[in-house]
């Protein structure tokens, strides 16, 4: 099967890593898979193209960066894409955002009508797609297959499909890079952590809707009971001062909150410094990549029930799902931090679930089954 993975984004964001993991897994199964993405500005890294080159999957075409759709402005990208599809005879174009979805439809319109090339769309949010007329077309007859971030999300969006193929599939992580291992002493020291000091951690872009206010309130509650704990925040964001720094100062816990910033080469080691992972509100990636990475590292999670979180975390087995209240979060963190045996058991279960549910091989198998339905024209 000849497959094109197409994204109009250039950033190494949440949906990009599972897409690249899928591409590599499909290649291992013997399929011809290529990547097209947007060109990164200058040498700014990490970028999707840069990460793809590192694993031998350099883009065969890089679009100009743009937002939205404009008929004339986008014509060169459409023509390049059309020529690429014609020359390589792709059976499927798998798109990941609305911009590249529409570019693909323009580029392969004639081949699609002739049954030569099909268009599949991945939708990155776990929230149900609005049934507005535009969406009913775009996510209905406007794509031959639809991939959602979880089984529950797929069921919620089935109403738009008119019997066309749809799949709910969890994301995938690199299980070798993200594996259980003892925390790196040098990394912990660089973070200001003392030996054996307990850590609650989160990986999230500091955005207003991500509930950093709740995170800081819960941390203040926990610190009243366990003063030695540290809250580790991995990530950055334009609004990090107002959403995270200032609340920590107001609550008097700024000296016990570690802002590690955005990490690249040492990210997995920084992640393994965490004893209990937490996740409150999914961001632009409804698949919650950081949660999957933490699970693969054998770290139990405490989350809310937002989005797909209650499907990704098995309550009482790989983590705890709690109401969005500071005291509930603090109590769950406390329970796991003071019970080493329970925390270790949940961590082992989280790793086991990652191996069965978040493996690239599993994702490629499920996606290939959807592709087969699409190519057969299943209705």
Please check whether residue 79 is in contact with residue 48, taking contact to mean a CB–CB distance below 8 angstroms.
no
- Mean pLDDT per 10-residue interval, the chain, length 379 residues: 94 83 94 94 80 94 83 90 96 95 96 96 95 96 97 97 96 95 95 95 83 94 97 88 91 96 92 97 88 97 96 98 97 98 98 96 96 83
69-73 — which CB contacts under 8 Å span 24+ positions?
69/99, 69/102, 69/103
Q: Give per-residue pLDDT as tens, 157-188.
A: 999 999 999 999 999 999 999 999 999 999 99
Q: Specify the domain boundaries for CATH 3.40.50.2000 within the chain.
A: 2-172+359-376, 185-357
Exposure of 272 by Cβ count < 10 A (0-12 exposed, 13-18 middle, 19+ buried)? buried
Q: How many CB atoms lie within 10 A of CB 61?
A: 16
CATH superfamily of 185-357: Glycogen Phosphorylase B; (3.40.50.2000)
* Alpha-helix runs per DSSP H in 226-308: 240, 246-250, 267-271, 289-296
Distances (CA, A) of 244 to 208, 249, 306, 327, 331: 9, 9, 20, 18, 21
**Six-digit token pair at 276?**
């209990």
In tens, the pLDDT along 50-100 reads 999 999 999 999 988 777 778 888 899 999 999 999 999 999 999 999 999
Q: What token pair was written down for 243? A: 């959403």
d(CA 144, CA 11): 26
Give the Cα separation of 243 and 188 in Å (integer): 25
Indicate the fold that domain 2-172+359-376 takes in CATH.
Rossmann fold (3.40.50)
Token digits of residue 302: 């405490």
Q: What is the pLDDT of residue 67?
A: 79
- pTM confidence score: 0.92
At 378 the pLDDT is 55
């Amino acid at each position: 099967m000849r497959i094109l993975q197409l994204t109009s984004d250039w950033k190494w964001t949440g949906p990009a890593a599972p897409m690249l993991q899928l591409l590599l897994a499909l290649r291992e199964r013997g399929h011809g898979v290529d990547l097209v993405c947007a060109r990164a500005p200058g040498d700014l890294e990490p970028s999707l193209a840069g990460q793809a080159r590192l694993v031998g999957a350099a883009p065969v075409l890089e679009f100009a960066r743009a937002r939205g759709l404009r008929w004339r402005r986008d014509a060169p990208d459409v023509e390049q894409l059309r020529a690429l599809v014609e020359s390589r005879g792709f059976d499927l174009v798998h798109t990941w955002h609305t911009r590249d979805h529409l570019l693909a439809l323009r580029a392969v319109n004639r081949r699609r009508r002739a049954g030569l090339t099909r268009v599949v769309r991945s939708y990155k949010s776990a929230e149900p797609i609005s049934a507005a007329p535009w969406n009913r077309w775009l996510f209905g007859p406007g794509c031959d297959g639809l991939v959602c971030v979880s089984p529950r999300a797929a069921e919620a969006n089935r109403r738009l499909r008119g019997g066309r193929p749809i799949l709910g599939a969890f994301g995938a992580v690199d299980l070798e890079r993200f594996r259980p291992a003892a925390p790196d002493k040098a990394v912990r020291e660089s973070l200001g952590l003392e030996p054996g000091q307990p850590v609650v951690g989160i990986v999230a872009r500091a955005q207003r809707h991500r509930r950093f206010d709740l995170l800081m309130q819960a941390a203040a509650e926990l610190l009243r009971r366990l003063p030695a704990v540290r809250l580790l925040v991995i990530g950055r964001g334009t609004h990090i001062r107002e959403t995270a720094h200032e609340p920590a100062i107001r609550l008097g816990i700024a000296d016990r909150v570690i802002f590690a910033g955005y990490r690249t080469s040492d990210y997995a080691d920084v992640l393994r410094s965490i004893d209990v992972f937490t996740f409150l509100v999914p961001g632009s990636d409804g698949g919650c990549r950081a949660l999957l990475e933490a699970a693969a590292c054998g770290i139990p999670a405490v989350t809310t029930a937002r989005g797909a979180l209650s499907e990704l975390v098995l309550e009482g087995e790989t983590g705890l799902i709690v109401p969005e209240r500071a005291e509930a979060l603090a109590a769950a963190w406390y329970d796991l931090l003071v019970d080493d045996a329970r925390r270790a058991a949940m961590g082992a279960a989280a790793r086991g679930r990652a191996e069965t549910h978040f493996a690239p091989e599993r994702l490629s198998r499920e996606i290939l089954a959807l592709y087969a339905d699409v190519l057969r024209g299943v209705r």
